[in-house]
Amino acid sequence: MRFPDKLYLAELDPNERIENFAEVTRSVTLSQVQQEAARCLSCKSKPCSTNCPIHTKIPEIIRLIKNNSLKEATLLLLKDNPLPAITGRVCPQERYCEGNCVLAKNSISFGAIERFLGDKLLLESTISPEELKPKELSSKKISVAIIGSGPAGLSSAFFLTLNGAEVAVFEALDKVGGVLRYGIPEFRLPKMILDLQISFLEELGVQFFTSCRIEKEDLEKLVEEFDYIIMATGAGLPRLIDIPGINSPRVITANELLFRVNYMEAYKFPEKLTPVKRPASELRDKVHAVVVGAGNTAMDAARVLRRLGYKVIVAYRRSISESRARYAEITHAMEEGVKFKEYVVPVKVSSTNDPIHPLKITLAKTKVEGKKVITLEKTETLYASLMVLAIGSRRNFIEGTRDWIKDFSTKTTQSRIFAAGDIIRGAATVIEAVADGKRCAEQVLER
């Protein structure tokens, strides 16, 4: 149900968007933002802010927009959120701020508002880095090494540099961004926005060093060179399932698919030299791909495969209503032609003699009892060209450091080493990683 006065982002037509990787949602105008801000009730309880992982001062920001004080609104937004153009696009607001608005389903579209302010910041340079820095900085100069340049690392880097620390971010790959670059498709987060965000951090004073994979011995050297270390290495290792035939070359992980497409731009093959198996043009929408799982990563994989020309089926062991994926991503996937098969789990993969659909995937029926998923004896069969596993990710620990990490705590057993993001949570949301990065920076600055 759509409410006539609520702000909704315009979207590309589904038939158009599956032909390319252009961003699906369109930006909003100042007039639209002001009209949306005018709907805010400025309630005293502020449930939107309370339920935001970084406690963005949403009512105060909206009040400034109502007064046409956009610069002040952006400055206040940046006090809590260093990546508004990114979180405005990928944060599950329906779970946090918008989902707790007193207007219920007619909630204020704060995601669109923060995206608008974030885009103006990056595209129009509405605020210079110097304007962000507090007038009085700590007289004690500290140096911090951050390992990983995903949202947690970028968040820590922002807040530390803003408060006078010398910050060096070490990234294992040759481009900065971590999961923001290799995990999220272009049609959800344009790389131009990510690149502008990184450039803004560089102007602020953050130093980035790419192609630097940090091993245990490197970490020991960093401890000697820097006052503090923040490990923000993420959770990029895929989870697998142990069933017959799972090692078929036609079975890949969503992590690999998304890395090849998002980071290496494999969809541009042969212009880009890293290919991804895709149907011939005359077989578009006739070749099946099966995605196992139904989280955000599964939705990204399914929507990427649609753009590569596959007819896609998402197989999930529960109902889609139980998925942790954003409602918008599930809706977009459905609009783009992705089909969903609920209460099934793969139990066997075997080969066929069909050159188009060489995989035979046996799915067992499931039922849910409480928190448990029970596999039943009844089975069905799907034939496909490709099977993609999107059933979760494991954390990227630097060898020898696993015992240092305390789950959900930014403090480690090492006094000068902190941790943030998916490395302490497992695969979570971008905004949770941003919150961890901010908390890490505050703890370092308190030392």
User: Is residue 133 pLDDT above 90, yes or no?
Assistant: no
Say whether both 315 and 244 belong to one domain: yes
pLDDT given for residue 316 in this prediction: 98
Could you give the CA distance from residue 159 to residue 164 in angstroms, rounded to a whole number?
A: 9
Does residue 258 contact residue 283 with C-beta atoms inside 8 Å? no
User: Is residue 139 pLDDT above 60, yes or no?
Assistant: no
In this prediction, residue 138 has a pLDDT band, given cuts at 50, 70 and 90, of low
User: Is residue 130 pLDDT above 80, yes or no?
Assistant: yes
What average pLDDT is seen over the chain?
95
Q: How many other C-beta atoms lie within 10 A of the C-beta of residue 221?
A: 11
Could you give the CA distance from residue 37 to residue 28 in angstroms, rounded to a whole number?
A: 13
Say whether both 150 and 27 belong to one domain: no
Of 127, 143, 165, the one marking the end of a domain is 127
User: Is residue 270 pLDDT above 90, yes or no?
Assistant: no
Closest CA to 146 of 180, 166, 170: 170
pLDDT given for residue 84 in this prediction: 98
In a domain, 6, yes or no: no
Say whether both 141 and 249 belong to one domain: no
In a domain, 318, yes or no: yes
Tens of pLDDT, residue by residue over 34-89, are 999 999 999 999 999 999 999 999 999 999 999 999 999 999 999 999 999 999 99
Say whether both 344 and 438 belong to one domain: no
- State the sign of the Cα–Cα–Cα–Cα dihedral 40, 42, 43, 48: positive
Decide: pTM greater than 0.85.
Answer: yes
In this prediction, residue 4 has a pLDDT band, given cuts at 50, 70 and 90, of confident
Domains in the chain: how many in total?
3
In a domain, 8, yes or no: no
User: Is residue 119 pLDDT above 90, yes or no?
Assistant: yes
Tens of pLDDT, residue by residue over 301-330, are 999 999 999 999 999 999 999 999 999 999
Lowest mean per-residue pLDDT among 276-280, 331-335, 344-348: 276-280
In a domain, 311, yes or no: yes
Burial group, residue 335, by CB count within 10 angstroms (0-12, 13-18, 19+): middle
CATH at 68: 1.10.1060.10
Say whether both 350 and 270 belong to one domain: yes
In a domain, 1, yes or no: no
pLDDT given for residue 118 in this prediction: 98
Say whether both 78 and 179 belong to one domain: no
Say whether both 346 and 420 belong to one domain: no
Cis geometry, peptide bond prior to residue 270 (ω within 30 degrees of 0): yes
Say whether both 308 and 415 belong to one domain: no
Tens of pLDDT, residue by residue over 85-105, are 999 999 999 999 999 999 999
User: Is residue 379 pLDDT above 60, yes or no?
Assistant: yes
Lowest mean per-residue pLDDT among 151-165, 272-286, 387-401, 418-432: 272-286
pLDDT given for residue 295 in this prediction: 96
Domain that holds residue 415: 132-236+395-446
User: Is residue 275 pLDDT above 90, yes or no?
Assistant: no
Say whether both 94 and 170 belong to one domain: no
User: Is residue 171 pLDDT above 70, yes or no?
Assistant: yes
Could you give the CA distance from residue 3 to residue 305 in angstroms, rounded to a whole number?
A: 32
DSSP β-bridge partners for residue 11: 25
pLDDT given for residue 141 in this prediction: 87
Say whether both 350 and 372 belong to one domain: yes
- Average pLDDT for residues 185-202, to the nearest whole number? 97
- Average pLDDT for residues 134-161, to the nearest whole number? 89
CATH at 287: 3.50.50.60
pLDDT given for residue 30 in this prediction: 96
Say whether both 246 and 343 belong to one domain: yes
Say whether both 248 and 193 belong to one domain: no
In a domain, 415, yes or no: yes
Of 92, 127, 162, the one marking the end of a domain is 127
In a domain, 35, yes or no: yes
* SS3 state at 124: helix
User: Is residue 135 pLDDT above 90, yes or no?
Assistant: no
Q: Which residues contact 94 (CB under 8 A, 6 or more apart)?
A: 326, 327, 328
In a domain, 9, yes or no: no
Does residue 298 contact residue 314 with C-beta atoms inside 8 Å? yes
In this prediction, residue 137 has a pLDDT band, given cuts at 50, 70 and 90, of low
Of 109, 127, 145, the one marking the end of a domain is 127
Going by DSSP bridges, is the β-strand pair 251-253/386-389 parallel, antiparallel, or unpaired? parallel
